[in-house]
Amino acid sequence: MSPEDLYHHLARLSLAHGVSGREAPVAALFAEAAAPLCNEVRTDALGNVVAVKYGEQPDSDDRVRFMIAAHTDEIGMLVSAVHPDGFLHVSPVGGVDRSLLFAKEVWVHTKHGPIPGLITSRPPHLTKPSEREKLPDWDELFVDVGLPKDKLEQTVRIGDMVTMRGRCERLAGTRVAGKAIDDRASVVAMIAMLTHLQRLRHDVDVYAVATVQEEVGLRGAMTATFGVAPHVGIAVDVGHAHQPGVPKYKTAEQGAGPVVARGANIHPEVYAAICAAAEAYGIKYQTEVVAANTGTDAWAMQVTRSGVPTGLLSLPLAYMHSQVETVDLNDIGETGRLLAAFAAEADIERIRGWQRVLI
- Residue ranges matching CATH 2.40.30.40 in the chain: 76-164
User: How far is the C-alpha of 176 from the C-alpha of 198, rounded, in Å?
Assistant: 27
pLDDT digits (tens, 9 = 90+) for 286-343: 999 999 899 999 999 999 999 999 999 999 999 999 999 999 999 999 999 999 999 9
- Residue ranges matching CATH 3.40.630.10 in the chain: 3-74+179-353
Please give the mean pLDDT across all residues of the chain.
95
pLDDT digits (tens, 9 = 90+) for 125-182: 667 777 767 788 898 899 999 999 999 999 999 999 999 998 999 999 999 999 999 9
**Confidence class for position 275, pLDDT limits 50, 70, 90:** very high
Residue 314 to residues 71, 79, 116, 183, 259: CA-CA distances in angstroms?
12, 32, 33, 10, 5
pLDDT digits (tens, 9 = 90+) for 69-94: 999 999 999 999 998 889 999 999 99
User: How far is the C-alpha of 307 from the C-alpha of 309, rounded, in Å?
Assistant: 7
- Region 3-74+179-353: CATH code: 3.40.630.10
Q: Which of 214, 215, 288, 345 is catalytic?
A: 214
The pLDDT of residue 84 is: 86
Average pLDDT value for residue range 243-272: 96
- State the amino acid at position 51 in one-letter form: A
Q: Can 279 be counted among the known catalytic residues? A: no
Q: Into which CATH architecture does domain 76-164 fall?
A: Beta Barrel (2.40)
